[in-house]
A and B are shown apart, each in its own frame.
Chain A
Amino acid sequence: MKTTGTVTGIVSNLVIVEINGPVAQNEICYINLSGVNLMAEVIKVIGKLAYVQVFESTRGLKVGMPVEFQGHMLEVMLGPGLLSKNYDGLQHDLAKMKGIFLQRGDYTDALDYDSEWEFTPLVEAGAQVTAADWLGEVPENWVNHKIMVPFVMTDKYTIKSVASKGTYKITDTIAVLTNSKGEEFNVTMVQKWPVKKAITAYREKPRPFKIMETGVRVIDTLNPIAEGGTGFIPGPFGCGKTVLQHALAKQADADMIIMAACGERANEVVEIFAEFPYLEDPRTGRKLMERTTIICNTSNMPVAAREASVYTAMTIGEYYRSMGLKVLLLADSTSRWAQALREMSNRLEELPGPDAFPMDLSAIIANFYARAGFVYLNNGSTGSVTFIGTVSPAGGNLKEPVTESTKKAARCFYALSQQRADSKRYPAIDPMDSYSKYLEYPEIQEFLNKNISAEWHDQVMKTKNIIQRGKEASEQINILGDDGVPLEYHDRYWKSEILDFVVLQQDAFDKIDCNTPLKRQRYMLGKVMDICDTSFKFDSFEQCSTYYKRIINVLKQMNYSDFQSEEFNNYEKELNTILNERKA
């Protein structure tokens, strides 16, 4: 029998329910508001009173209205048909909702019960299986979607029968399993999983040892992110966080992209809706939308569902990882998620931590980031969830609780700088403040040197050094004046400016410059570093700046040209002529 209750108090979206039976923390319930069901989650219980956060507006709710508890936590449906879908934070399909405005209680199915899938078995009767083992596969867009033993079935099972090759609906039984006691279980193509629990049905989670190519030079070259790694992008508003995230979504070398629009602008999501069905994935030639799932809880959608949305996204990511895919999960912005936690903590009248955030904020964030990772599956194949979150620090101040907690949890830090954004040096990732801990991993260093070039890691370190020295020189020039420093300072400063303009800066709106493959990055970095290693002769600092501006201009034109095209080669010849003018 389900536990039921009645509403006894309402404070915004926190509702107090008097209950007549057992309830669990985080259990889902529905409040019946004159025929409309409002979904809610238990967040505190005191005696006979359950405090629930409602995922909808509570306008019109009255004391005495009936509540029905569901006996499970917030779950998502996992099965073929998730790709290319646009969900709200609770995995309701936005496309199936009626009308222009979102109506309360319009809870649509996450998957299509009528669609049919071409099933091919991958196991035979008699085989031994456990949670997450592959039973068969169906083609979903261009992915071979694996049908697995449900993650909750962690015992050992024997396959009694498996469906033959053919067309099935997602709720058809495709395998019958028996456990050691001889009990039988019917397995379909769809399973459910509570979003707040990590899916751990894999063999091993090693340290990441490969890098994930993103086509963004300042990331790939200077601070690469590992496949299965974690990173975060904090920055004040207007520094290009969103443009950068969209670039990653378009270009990253991943099999699947999940974008969690968490409490951000609706028009930004609309941009993805409008563009991704037409943009091509350069690697597969397929449309980007085919590899993308969007979880959308924009800032005007209910706050409590915002908190759920990042977990929904992560769970879907873990599901696809279990099929041996490379998943990239992007969440914009995790600060909005933290604010949702703060609003609830406030209504619960909990004692506040720093900046009125809940005390366990840091633990919650760390726990979430820990769900990303590179894994070896039960059958030895590999899969990964790479996670990049953005943080919107209040007032652009990085010493605030969400940024600090995230810094402890994430391995890559891409600091967007207001100063760089103001001078339109995009992407505004600060080359000195940012870091990638993966560069310190010996296994990553080995990977880079093997796959890019033998001296790559050393060259990257040297690049960083030149940028650092250029920055110091520029500070000296600003303090002492152009005439007050040796000419060599100007030379040093301008060499770092070449790196800035040609490697760090990248035009996200230019169709060629927006995406630089690693091979091209290696070539251009080599080119620039050769210039940095060359000594030139100058009589005055004015001569120096004019000369380097010419070099920068030609190199930029190279960036705008197709790699090694005639145009590109002509600019390169022009560059060589300029370089020969002043070689010492």
Chain B
Amino acid sequence: METKAFQRIYTQLTGITKATVTLKAQGIANEELALVHGRLAQVVKIIGDSVTLQIFSGTEGIPTNAEVIFYGEPPKLKVSDDLAGRFFDAYGNPLFGATEIEGDPREIGGPSVNPLRRKQPSELIATGIAGIDLNNTLVTGQKIPFFADPDQPYNQVMAMVALRAQADKIILGGMGLSNDDFLFFKNVFENAGALDRIVCFVNTTEQPPVERLLVPDMALTAAEYFATTKNEKVLVLLTDMTLYADALSIVSNRMDQIPSKDSMPGSLYSDLAKIYEKAVQLPDGGSITIIAVTTLSGGDITHAIPDNTGYITEGQLFLRTDSDTGKVIVDPFRSLSRLKQQVIGKKTREDHPQVMNAAVRLYADAANAKTKLENGFDLTEYDERALKFAHDYSEKLLAIDVNIDTNVMLDTAWELFAKYFSKTEVAIKNELVQKYWPN
């Protein structure tokens, strides 16, 4: 964005905090951009002629006589097919010394889709991971986060899901991504020969936290371009949304807002919903699917960030290390895909819903048996069988390194049922048992 001749330049700041500056100015529009001392800033509050700006990269070293230039427009991203295969910073500037792209400038964080114009998500996304495809099937137009502790391999799993998902475009929004993880994503996409399908917007840990606030909107504006103009299936990866929410709380704190639960701003729910609700199945075939990461602290999902997220997203995927098999599994109890009902048993085999539920119920019996064992009680013969089933189920189906087709997953489940249980113990509708019970 260049300085235009008619723009007015101000040089007298009346206030500076860690994240904002205030000055006297007139004719300023809410949410418009400005350059303060060479740094990008956005109008967040206007009272009379007193204008408050949020400086994305922080206010360190900004003097009271800093030069302030208003752009007269909100943040925009130039969109065109040239976005594909490119890496950008949080402002949409190309990384690695690449040239600026040409395109139609679009406001980021634009309006939402009329709910009546949406289509019901109904197209299955196959990942080959049974913990997802069998128990928590994903659908285009869905929004779902991984809930994971920081030590779990969520970025690896996400990259794997992204590459297997057969999306037309994969858009990565990295917030507070460590440089190592950023290079990991870059390498994985390069090695898979998928670079022409990738667009990245990245804010790494080396960069100022408030800049992160732009990343999801940038990524989703690019996604909307491909989904609405090109009718493409777009998959958006957002990692890590917890760090995004932390940036929100920093800004609201600097603006003297009263914090609500866990020091988060009272508007956290709406702020997160504005991002996640961009996931959509459009009438002309295009779609935006969002897979995000919300890191937890010690598995605590009652914290305001995962809690609000859970109410917004269509389910959540929990990663956990299974102590029996030593493998990382998708936890069948706490994970959920709300949209799976749209596809399971309809786009997949008829026995899918009942097999899924029966397996989880039997796995729960094993968990009870384990508790008994830990408390020093004798196990019944049924308990023993349930424990053996749980081990196999975890190894052959739940582990994230499994990569098989959904029908194979269902057959595997039936085999395990038959191996360890009687038909009445499995308690599935008779007509299905007759058809699928292995002899």
Interface residue ranges, A against B (CB under 8 Å) = 8-12, 16, 57-64, 86, 94-95, 97, 99-104, 236-238, 242, 263, 265-267, 269-271, 273-274, 296, 298-301, 303, 333, 336, 339, 342-343, 346, 349, 352, 355-356, 392, 394-397, 422-424, 478, 481-484, 509, 541-542, 545, 549-550, 552-553, 556-557, 560
Our pick among B49, B310, B312, B424 for the contact of A238 (Cβ within 8 Å) is B310
1/0 contact string of B24-39 vs chain A (CB within 8 Å): 0011111110000000
Our pick among B32, B119, B277, B282 for the contact of A299 (Cβ within 8 Å) is B277
B74 and A60 within 8 A (CB):
yes
Asked if B419 is at the interface of the complex by the 8 Å CB criterion, the answer is no
Asked, given contacts A299-B269, A542-B381, whether A553 binds B316 with beta carbons under 8 Å apart, the answer is no
Q: How many angstroms between the C-alpha atoms of A346 and B264 in the bound complex?
A: 13
Our pick among A12, A396, A423 for the contact of B364 (Cβ within 8 Å) is A423
Asked, given contacts A100-B228, A101-B111, whether A542 binds B380 with beta carbons under 8 Å apart, the answer is yes
Asked if B1 is at the interface of the complex by the 8 Å CB criterion, the answer is no
Q: How many angstroms between the C-alpha atoms of A300 and B277 in the bound complex?
A: 6
Our pick among B30, B282, B334 for the contact of A62 (Cβ within 8 Å) is B30
Residues of A within 8 A of B47 (CB): 8-9, 11, 16
Given contacts A63-B26, A238-B338, A296-B115, 9 further A-B contacts (CB under 8 A): A8-B47, A238-B336, A300-B273, A339-B269, A343-B270, A424-B360, A481-B377, A549-B427, A560-B429
Our pick among A94, A339, A395, A482 for the contact of B116 (Cβ within 8 Å) is A94
Interface residue ranges, B against A (CB under 8 Å) = 26-32, 44-49, 74, 107, 110-121, 141-142, 228, 257-261, 266-267, 269-270, 273-274, 277-280, 282-283, 301-304, 307-308, 310-312, 314-316, 333-334, 336, 338-339, 341, 353, 357, 360-361, 364, 371-372, 375, 377-378, 380-382, 424-425, 427, 429-430
Residues of A within 8 A of B110 (CB): 101
A100 and B28 within 8 A (CB):
no
Residues of A within 8 A of B425 (CB): 549
Q: How many angstroms between the C-alpha atoms of A274 and B107 in the bound complex?
A: 31
Smallest CB gap from B279: residue in A: A267
Q: How many angstroms between the C-alpha atoms of A414 and B73 in the bound complex?
A: 49
A269 and B333 within 8 A (CB):
no
B114 and A423 within 8 A (CB):
no
B267 and A556 within 8 A (CB):
no
A100 and B310 within 8 A (CB):
no
A267 and B314 within 8 A (CB):
yes
A336 and B111 within 8 A (CB):
no
Asked, given contacts A60-B32, A61-B30, A300-B277, whether A100 binds B113 with beta carbons under 8 Å apart, the answer is yes
Q: How many angstroms between the C-alpha atoms of A515 and B248 in the bound complex?
A: 45
Residues of B within 8 A of A57 (CB): 111
B46 and A422 within 8 A (CB):
no
Our pick among A8, A12, A94, A395 for the contact of B115 (Cβ within 8 Å) is A94
Q: How many angstroms between the C-alpha atoms of A71 and B270 in the bound complex?
A: 30
Asked, given contacts A394-B261, A394-B307, whether A8 binds B266 with beta carbons under 8 Å apart, the answer is no
Query: How far, in Å, is A477 (CB) from chain B's closest CB?
Result: 9
Our pick among A97, A238, A343, A560 for the contact of B316 (Cβ within 8 Å) is A238
B30 and A58 within 8 A (CB):
yes
A352 and B261 within 8 A (CB):
no
Query: How far, in Å, is B336 (CB) from chain A's closest CB?
Result: 5
Asked, given contacts A62-B30, A273-B116, A300-B277, whether A356 binds B357 with beta carbons under 8 Å apart, the answer is no
- B26, B114, B339 — which one has the most chain A CB atoms within 10 A of its CB? B114
Smallest CB gap from A557: residue in B: B430
Residues of A within 8 A of B141 (CB): 267
Smallest CB gap from B424: residue in A: A553
Residues of A within 8 A of B32 (CB): 60
* A-B pair number, CB within 8 angstroms: 209
Residues of B within 8 A of A342 (CB): 260, 266
Interface of A is mostly: mixed
Q: How many angstroms between the C-alpha atoms of A100 and B361 in the bound complex?
A: 42
Query: How far, in Å, is A94 (CB) from chain B's closest CB?
Result: 4
Our pick among A346, A395, A542 for the contact of B258 (Cβ within 8 Å) is A346
B378 and A483 within 8 A (CB):
yes
User: Which 3 A-B residue pairs are closest in the complex by CB-CB distance?
Assistant: A395-B302, A299-B273, A300-B277
A60 and B31 within 8 A (CB):
yes
Query: How far, in Å, is B63 (CB) from chain A's closest CB?
Result: 26
Query: How far, in Å, is A424 (CB) from chain B's closest CB?
Result: 6
Q: How many angstroms between the C-alpha atoms of A342 and B430 in the bound complex?
A: 52
B114 and A94 within 8 A (CB):
yes
Smallest CB gap from B357: residue in A: A424
Query: How far, in Å, is B76 (CB) from chain A's closest CB?
Result: 12
Residues of B within 8 A of A298 (CB): 112, 115, 277
Q: How many angstroms between the C-alpha atoms of A267 and B139 in the bound complex?
A: 12
- A58, A64, A346 — which one has the most chain B CB atoms within 10 A of its CB? A346
Smallest CB gap from B309: residue in A: A237
A99 and B277 within 8 A (CB):
no
Residues of B within 8 A of A16 (CB): 47
Q: How many angstroms between the C-alpha atoms of A272 and B381 in the bound complex?
A: 47
Residues of B within 8 A of A64 (CB): 27
Our pick among A8, A266, A395 for the contact of B118 (Cβ within 8 Å) is A266
Q: How many angstroms between the C-alpha atoms of A99 and B74 in the bound complex?
A: 22
Asked, given contacts A299-B312, A352-B258, whether A267 binds B378 with beta carbons under 8 Å apart, the answer is no
A265 and B113 within 8 A (CB):
no
B430 and A481 within 8 A (CB):
no
Residues of B within 8 A of A478 (CB): 371-372, 375
Q: How many angstroms between the C-alpha atoms of A392 and B261 in the bound complex?
A: 14
Residues of A within 8 A of B45 (CB): 10-11
Residues of B within 8 A of A484 (CB): 377
Smallest CB gap from A556: residue in B: B427
A270 and B424 within 8 A (CB):
no
Q: How many angstroms between the C-alpha atoms of A303 and B158 in the bound complex?
A: 32
Q: How many angstroms between the C-alpha atoms of A478 and B118 in the bound complex?
A: 49
Our pick among A59, A542, A556 for the contact of B31 (Cβ within 8 Å) is A59
Smallest CB gap from B224: residue in A: A101
Q: How many angstroms between the C-alpha atoms of A508 and B156 in the bound complex?
A: 36
Residues of A within 8 A of B279 (CB): 267
B114 and A238 within 8 A (CB):
no
Residues of A within 8 A of B113 (CB): 100-102, 266
Q: How many angstroms between the C-alpha atoms of A58 and B427 in the bound complex?
A: 56
Q: How many angstroms between the C-alpha atoms of A8 and B28 in the bound complex?
A: 11
Residues of A within 8 A of B114 (CB): 94, 97, 99-102
Residues of A within 8 A of B111 (CB): 57, 101-104
Asked, given contacts A298-B112, A303-B267, whether A396 binds B31 with beta carbons under 8 Å apart, the answer is no
Q: How many angstroms between the C-alpha atoms of A336 and B303 in the bound complex?
A: 17
Residues of B within 8 A of A95 (CB): 116
Residues of A within 8 A of B307 (CB): 237, 394-396
A346 and B270 within 8 A (CB):
no
- B26, B27, B266, B280 — which one has the most chain A CB atoms within 10 A of its CB? B266
Asked, given contacts A270-B118, A342-B260, A355-B260, whether A482 binds B377 with beta carbons under 8 Å apart, the answer is yes
Query: How far, in Å, is B372 (CB) from chain A's closest CB?
Result: 7
A9 and B304 within 8 A (CB):
no
